[in-house]
Amino acid sequence: MDLDFTAQQQAFRAEVRAWLHDNVPRAPLASYDTREGFEQHRVWEARLAEGGYSSVIWPKELGGRGSDLIEWLIFEEEYHAAGAPMRVNQNGILLLGPTLMEFGTAEQKARFLPRMARCDDMWAQGWSEPNAGSDMANIASRAIRDGDEYVINGQKTWSTRAVFANWLFGLFRTHPESSRHHGLSYLLVPLDARGITIRPIKALNGKQAFAEVFFDDVRVSAANLVGEEGQGWNVAMATAGFERGLLLRSPARFQRTARRLVELYRRHQAAADRDPSIRDGVLQAWMDAEAYNLASYHTVGRLLQGGRVGAESSTNKIFWSELDLRMHETAMRILGPRAELIDDPEVHDWLEGFLFAQAGPIYAGTNEIQRNIIAERVLGLPKS
Amino acid sequence: MDFTFTEDQLALRDSVSRFLMNEAAPELLREIWETGGGRSPELRAKIAAQGMTGLSVPEAYGGLGMSDIDWALITEEIGYYAIPDSLADTACVAPALLRAVPDAEALRGEWLPKIADGSARVAVEHPVNPWVADVHLADLVLAFRAAGDGALELHAVRGADLHHSALGSIDASRRLAVLSQPLGASTRLLRGAAVQPLADATVDRAAFAVAGQLVGLAQRMLDLSVDYVAQRKQFGRPIGSFQAVKHHLADVVTRIEFARPVLYRAALALQRDDRHRAAFVSHAKLACADAAWTAARKGIQVHGASGYTWEVDLQMFMKRAWALDAAWGDRAFHKARLGATLFGDEAPLGPAATLY
């Protein structure tokens, strides 16, 4: 047991650090939920791809570096330590990317993966529907085969950044008589196709963070089917396991927030200490961010030895989302009456982060669903 | 970078677990409670025969020469089976302290082989604990105590010379006492600048050992609770099928999952005498105590009224967890140490700053 990096890992870290030092934009980018900010983030994604850093764990021939998960953790540490921009196309890179690698045809991989890595294509997720949220198997949108096309009718919702996306990956019911997770298919849909209407949904911060997507006799080539027809649920779930649970939120992100929180507390310690629970909250934030980091190295180590992991993606999801919420709540309390002043430079990022942290326990599978998964798959308790 | 255990370390853990499962079953523990000293010489002899008392004793003194990292897994098992013994003080804390005392070769030659073969119990007194565990049966007490001038000293007191007054604990497996005699020149081992580092290392190693027991206790309470909710039926089905019950226990899983790796880093920090050793150990103690405290609260809740009874075994593990929560530094002590590091100028903050 050790926590020492090999010479090769240290060299990788040095290389990443130097590249980020030379390339990270000096001025912060505008929010990627605005048109201007989205375009800035797209330029940044293209720059990352040029450096081979779009997704370090992707194979080299697809624009990655063929890194293992330790190198991925190192990359994330350097990325967040450098204060580099938020990643705008992660739904594509984390969800669709691995799915195409496992189930896509050679033509689909060649057509979509390099463009995804450069953010030439921006991908929206088409899973949730008005009546299929936590109960995702209740999907009702249909895609009916007609010759070498599918005809799609229905509605998707909560599609993150769909306002700026040009493609959507989603699950559609291709067998009209089917129910639940049977008879679904995984389709790739160009968002400029005729019959698509995108209606933005404003998030808590007033920005168009996601959208509803309506399909009215939208015709999509059957070449855009990923995996076999009717197997969409399995295709989607195959890459929804541990790796995604880890990759979605690296520990470095929270260690950076914890660092900022300690610094915020130290700047305002006299005022903050009027409420003794604040100091406690700061300590807890550091401890939990550290715990998440150590747990990640422990789990990755076991994975690299060929070990199997259980429901880590569910415990991770609960842990980081609740940690993120608590850290931002503590920051709000340190800021006191200033915490509502959205234009105050010291407040702005904390307040935006606080709003976004509210969503953490809800997106990517609510924490209630994650607790069910832990109880049933780790503890073996009977289904409800 | 390999933050995992070796096959050998895991195999040792498994063999200790199988041994304690057979030899330290709850019904046996209850029988030991009823005896006068609260300790079973037979169980202690079996533990020694298993090699557990000699794990940390160097091979030259008849032990197995193992490390703090090996102990991380063993402490979890000691906690899981809640053995009625302060085994870690004798087998983990005392050997490291004896090895570190300067110019004490005679003491090492006398006591380390006895620790290894199980014939000696060592109790450890430190100002962080108001009471000392298992003084009543100790063959040797190693005591850090402030002298009249305020300077910390290290004393060695032999069992035959001990005066103590016993104190009852809510955990019938804990046997506590205050060492009542004054210590002086005849018992003094060490005085001066060398004492404080030894005392600090002793607190860290003992707090680490308690942390491991706490996370082991959390796992045991979780396992007992899962067994209970899977068989207990209400409204015609197992109560474990209800979400409210599931979610209590899922929370315990999560606490344990994020406490264990913290314990393992503390082991590594002890092994390497890392510059952030104190903060990393305090983190482990706090995280593991939190896991155990949560497991106790959620455990009794899902057990319903039966969890409140003497009959049901959950009580044994809850009480141990509650007792150990403040042993070798209460939460305030460990938070203060962590704060001193985090709010200091050398704070290990941010991505990549907290590994080695």
Give A134's strand partners.
none
Place of tokens 């900010």: A37
In Å, what is the CA distance from B342 to each residue of B284, B336, B337, B345, B349? Answer: 15, 10, 9, 8, 8
In which band, very low, low, confident or very high, does the pLDDT at B352 lie, cut at 50, 70 and 90? Answer: confident
Would you state the pLDDT for residue A244?
A: 67
Q: Are the C-beta atoms of A76 and B351 separated by less than 8 Å?
A: yes
Would you state the pLDDT for residue B356?
A: 53
Place of tokens 């979400």: B243
Question: Mapped to the 3 state alphabet, what secondary structure does B20-85 carry?
Answer: HHHHCCHHHHHHHHCCCCCCCHHHHHHHHHCCHHHCCCCHHHCCCCCCHHHHHHHHHHHHHCCCCC
Give the distance, in angstroms, between the CA of residue B97 and the centroid of all CA atoms in the same chain. 16
Would you state the pLDDT for residue A240?
A: 67
Collapse the DSSP code of B191 into the 3-class scheme (helix H, G, I; strand E, B; otherwise coil) and give the result: strand
Chain A CB contacts of B343 under 8 Å are: 262, 265-266, 269
Residue type, A212: E
Catalytic residues of A: 243
Burial of B113 (0-12, 13-18, 19+ CB in 10 A): middle
Report the distance separating Cα B106 and Cα B244, nearest Å: 60
Give A154's strand partners.
A215
- pLDDT beyond 90 at B158: yes
Report the distance separating Cα A119 and Cα A46, nearest Å: 6
Give the distance, in angstroms, between the CA of residue B344 and the centroid of all CA atoms in the same chain. 29
Give B145's strand partners.
B153
B 286-305: CB under 8 A from A: 286-287
From B10, which residue of chain A is nearest by alpha-carbon distance?
A1
Report the residue from A4, A77, A381 with minimal CB separation from B226: A381
Distance from CA of A301 to the nearest CA of B (A): 6
In which band, very low, low, confident or very high, does the pLDDT at A358 lie, cut at 50, 70 and 90? Answer: very high
Task: Give the pLDDT confidence of A129-182 residue by residue, as tens digits.
Answer: 999 999 999 999 999 999 999 999 999 999 999 999 999 999 999 999 999 999
Lowest mean pLDDT segment, chosen from A54-63, B2-11, B61-70: A54-63
Domains recognised in chain B with CATH numbers: 196-342 (1.20.140.10)
Give B334's strand partners.
none
Virtual torsion, Cα A338, A342, A345, A350, nearest 10 deg? 80
Report the residue from A70, A291, A314 with minimal CB separation from B261: A291
Task: Give the pLDDT confidence of A13-53 residue by residue, as tens digits.
Answer: 999 999 999 999 999 999 999 999 999 999 999 999 999 99
Report the distance separating Cα B99 and Cα A48, nearest Å: 53
Say which residue, A237 or A362, is predicted with more confidence: A362
Report the residue from A9, A291, A375 with minimal CB separation from B250: A375
Domains recognised in chain A with CATH numbers: 7-88 (1.10.540.10), 123-231 (2.40.110.10), 241-378 (1.20.140.10)
Task: Give the pLDDT confidence of A231-264 residue by residue, as tens digits.
Answer: 999 999 887 666 667 888 999 999 999 999 999 9
Collapse the DSSP code of B87 into the 3-class scheme (helix H, G, I; strand E, B; otherwise coil) and give the result: helix
Number of helical (H) and strand (E) elements in chain B, helices listed first: 13, 9
- pLDDT beyond 90 at A309: no
Specify the pairing of strand A142-146 against strand A184-190.
unpaired
Give the residue-averaged pLDDT of B127-156.
Answer: 94
Would you state the pLDDT for residue A126?
A: 95
Q: Does B43 touch chain A (CB under 8 A)?
A: no
Specify the pairing of strand A167-173 against strand A123-126.
parallel
From B290, which residue of chain A is nearest by alpha-carbon distance?
A284
Place of tokens 């949108």: A141
Q: Does B284 touch chain A (CB under 8 A)?
A: no
Give B151's strand partners.
none
Would you state the pLDDT for residue A308?
A: 76
Tell me the CB-side half-sphere exposure of residue A76, using CA atoms within 13 A.
24
Q: Which residues of A115-148 are buried (b: 16+ CB within 10 A; e: fewer)?
A: bbbbbebbbbbbbbbeebeeebeebebbbeeeee
Are B253 and A279 inside 8 Å of each other by CB? no
Report the residue from B4, B335, B350 with minimal CB separation from A301: B4
Query: A144: closest CA among A74, A220, A214?
Result: A220
Q: Which of B8, B13, B73, B246 is the best substitution to test chain A (most A C-beta atoms within 10 A)?
A: B246
Left (φ > 0), alpha (ψ -120 to 50) or beta: where does A170 sit?
A: beta
